[in-house]
Structure 1
Amino acid sequence: MKIAIGADEAGYALKELIKELLDERKIEVVDFGLKDAEGQIDYPDVGFAVAEEISKGNFDRGILVCGTGIGMTITADKVPGIRAALCHDTYSAERSIKSNNAQVLTMGARVIGSELAKSIVKVWLESEFDGGNSARKVQKIIDGERRLFNGVRETNSCN
């Protein structure tokens, strides 16, 4: 398994802990996020980088961490073909794969502790898509995305 990972400054410490866990499991990981604790980077830059790499097929899955996980989830889910899931418990992490075949796990470093985060990642890594009835639903997400965003997307401006 090859994993893309990234975090902004709020998620940096938790990302580093997760990288250690992945290393212990001999999982290849590439970091697209903040490289040191003193830096600063905007979560959309990291979220788009990770999600686009997965969308291109360069990675199997991705993990994104910011303060709440919300910004990273919204960002990653903007990339066509990506299903990102914000998980703050092991059950959601398991279901994000088994029911939704999500390729990206997002977490909030200010929301969960490090031990829970490690448990979430372990469960997420060990989960596999069940297919079955869920396959039909995931296909509807894919079809809806194609129908709504085929070609040009209109966006709402912050201005």
Structure 2
Amino acid sequence: MKISIGNDHAGPAYKQAIVKYLEEKGHTVTNYGTDSFDSVDYPDFAHKVGTDIDEGKADLGIVICGSGNGIAMTANKHQGVRCALCWTKEIAELARQHNDANVVSIPARFTSIEQAIAIVEAFLNTAFEGGRHQNRVNKITCA
């Protein structure tokens, strides 16, 4: 699977651990995130991940910032993105099952690295249920 990842200064250690996990599982990762703890602007990285989703260059995306909110809001500006802010693996599973989320946002200041990897694992290994959820997902996109 092709996965794009982006993070701001709150998430370098998270990103490094997640990229290692993904590559060990055989995924191809495009890394747009910073490796520095120096302040940067999260929209710069969210837009790159969102563009990869829009253009079909990535199957799924992962974005990381301190609260997970700002980077999720930015990613969701992209027409093809359904980004879900997830702080537990159960929420990640529901985001995939019910909302067909294709980008997960992780709040680095509110999760441990181990929790973040569990969130990513759940996100990758959970399928969209379709059915009654499909009509709702269809209503998410603005024309």
- TM-score (ref. length: structure 2): 0.96
Q: Which residue of 1 aligns with 2:93?
A: 94
Give the counterpart letter for 2:60 in structure 1.
R
1:80 deviation in Å? 1.2
Q: Which residue of 1 aligns with 2:63?
A: 64
Give the counterpart letter for 2:8 in structure 1.
D
1:81 aligns with 2:80: yes
Residue segments in structure 2 that go unaligned for 5+ positions in a row: none
Q: Which residue of 2 aligns with 1:138?
A: 137
- Give the secondary-structure state (helix, strand or coil) at the position aligned to 2:109: coil
1:37 deviation in Å? 2.5
C-alpha distance in structure 1 between counterparts of 2:37 and 2:96, whole Å:
34
Counterparts of 1:4-153 in structure 2, within 5 Å, are 4-34=4-34, 36-142=35-141, 145-146=142-143
Give the counterpart letter for 2:85 in structure 1.
L
1:78-118 deviations in Å (ceiling 9; x for gaps)? 11121100000111100111110111000111110011111
C-alpha distance in structure 2 between counterparts of 1:124 and 1:81, whole Å:
17
Displaced runs of 4 or more, over 2 A: 36-41
- For these two proteins, the number of residue pairs brought into alignment is 143
Give the counterpart letter for 1:22 in structure 2.
L
1:40 deviation in Å? 4.1
Percent identity between matched residues is: 39
- Give the secondary-structure state (helix, strand or coil) at the position aligned to 1:15: helix
C-alpha distance in structure 1 between counterparts of 2:71 and 2:37, whole Å:
20
Q: Which residue of 2 aligns with 1:157?
A: none
- Give the secondary-structure state (helix, strand or coil) at the position aligned to 1:63: strand
Q: Which residue of 1 aligns with 2:2?
A: 2
1:24 deviation in Å? 1.1
C-alpha distance in structure 1 between counterparts of 2:40 and 2:33, whole Å:
8
Residue segments in structure 1 that go unaligned for 5+ positions in a row: 147-159
Pick closer, same or farther for the CA change 1:38–1:139 going to 2, 3 Å: closer
